[in-house]
Structure 1
């Protein structure tokens, strides 16, 4: 596998981000920045994305770096919405979507790197275009779509409940 110290740190923090997101999805139906799991997801995702900038296969800034910066932008915008727009408002739709989308996008390099490295010596995929990678990403994309619809419906109910009490 041959991971550098940065690679090991990046991987450990990335796994922490994924676990925190899953805990938040299971407990709250979304990545909730007001809960510990959501806060861990936010900070671990920012750290993971920024440490990814230290990796290069071609010796220069590449599309993977842009991908990492895009994920940082998504979570930072969601965090700003969380801080500036309190309560169950329309901003929650965007916050929920941005966090879920950042999670899905984080899974793209995770799946690629994992399936092209594991099991050691005989990885499941030879490169990112391997059918198994495409299939796994398709399943994750469908879960992302279903989860986004679920979050939208749940948030709409919360927003309607709020407007009925006012």
Structure 2
């Protein structure tokens, strides 16, 4: 089904829960909250997805995206465990984890468009206007979202000292 191998199904089903979890956390908190129940599930789902990409990747860029995602995921969750960074820690955490969501959604949207409906996908060419438009929309959403998150964090951090 959909031309997905058994390791591909592990990758897909392992990382799939991250999509609704990140949507929920963005809608509820405006960012990924690592030390929460959804944040914990997001971490493990992303860890499975990023680690298994090496088993299913057909292009070198996929391996690079997987490695970058793992680094950002570990950095985003690890930065909250130290107090050395002070207020900068929340910015680093938020930016790293928002980047993981972006790196999750770009291949997710691309794969959906290239595989659905089964046998007659919406996109057959990597230069398809639909695919390029979807990827551009994700980039715009990322840029607007990360800007809004930083502005919000600056406002909250400024008000903490008052």
Q: TM-score, normalized by length of structure 2?
A: 0.91
1:87 and 1:22, CA in 2 relative to 1: closer, same or farther beyond 3 A? farther
Task: Find the residue that maps to 2:94 and give its secondary structure.
Answer: helix
Structure 2 residue aligned with 1:107: 105
Segments of structure 1 that go 5 or more residues without pairing to the other structure are: none
Alignment of 1:114-125 (within 5 A): 114-125=112-123
Deviations along 1:24-76, one digit per CA (max 9) or x if unpaired, are 11110000101111221122111101111101437xxx221111011100111
Structure 2 residue aligned with 1:149: 147
**How far did residue 88 of structure 1 move?**
7.3
Residues 1:45 and 2:20 are matched in the alignment: no
1:142 and 1:37, CA in 2 relative to 1: closer, same or farther beyond 3 A? same
Structure 1 residue aligned with 2:8: 7
Q: Which runs of 4+ in 1 moved over 6 A?
A: none
1:87 and 1:74, CA in 2 relative to 1: closer, same or farther beyond 3 A? closer
Deviations along 1:73-130, one digit per CA (max 9) or x if unpaired, are 0111111111113997121111111111111112121122111110112111113221
Segments of structure 2 that go 5 or more residues without pairing to the other structure are: none
Residues 1:72 and 2:47 are matched in the alignment: no
Q: TM-score, normalized by length of structure 1?
A: 0.89
Structure 1 residue aligned with 2:31: 30
**How far did residue 5 of structure 1 move?**
2.1
1:57 and 1:148, CA in 2 relative to 1: closer, same or farther beyond 3 A? closer
RMSD (Å) for aligned C-alpha atoms: 1.8
Number of equivalenced pairs: 161
